[in-house]
Amino acid sequence: MANNRQMQIRLRDEIESVIGDRMATHEDRNRCHYVNAFIAETLRYRPVAPGGVPHTAMCDTHLVIVGNLLANSMDANLWSNPHTFDPDRFLNQDGTLVAHVPGYVAFGVGHRSCLGEKLATAELFLVVAHLIKYTAGRVFALETGKGDGSADLEMAADQLVTSRPKPYKIMLLPCA
């Protein structure tokens, strides 16, 4: 978010038009399409568990099955410009959230997908909405200090189980 001020402004504009001055609620989530697209793109771009979660068979066996969610998220056959962070890929032409995006597997697939997906996305919406509501473009803005796009968003080689960003500073700066 701090890597792109224009995205902060777009998030803020949607939050202000949909939510206004009150606190965001779970009910607001279905009307904040860009916020949800931003969250989906964040999870596509850097999945929380890039190697997927190991599964075992229900009967005696020695197999462990692990899906590679990161490889799927960066597959050029599934995503145009997969190494570009672009929340718009999750929006229809009219600006509404796409209900189902083929290839989006941030929470796994099938019967063994993450049980916490609905709770996680609902909570992520509230966190992003509250953070943006009280920062971007209003009184304060989140910045890296070195300009848009300066945060290194690439994953370290040792991040196969859980994903975390490389260290960088984020500042809360007053808007001019």
Question: Can you say which residues are annotated as belonging to the binding site?
Answer: 114
CA distance readout (Å), 157 to 14, 53, 154, 165: 36, 18, 9, 12
How far is the C-alpha of 119 from the C-alpha of 123, rounded, in Å? 6
Residue 2: closest CA among 176, 171, 174: 171
CA distance readout (Å), 121 to 24, 29, 42, 89, 125: 14, 9, 11, 17, 6
Q: Are 39 and 121 in contact (CB under 8 A)?
A: yes
The annotated binding site for heme is made up of 114
How is the chain split among helix, strand and coil, in percent rounded to 5? 35, 10, 55
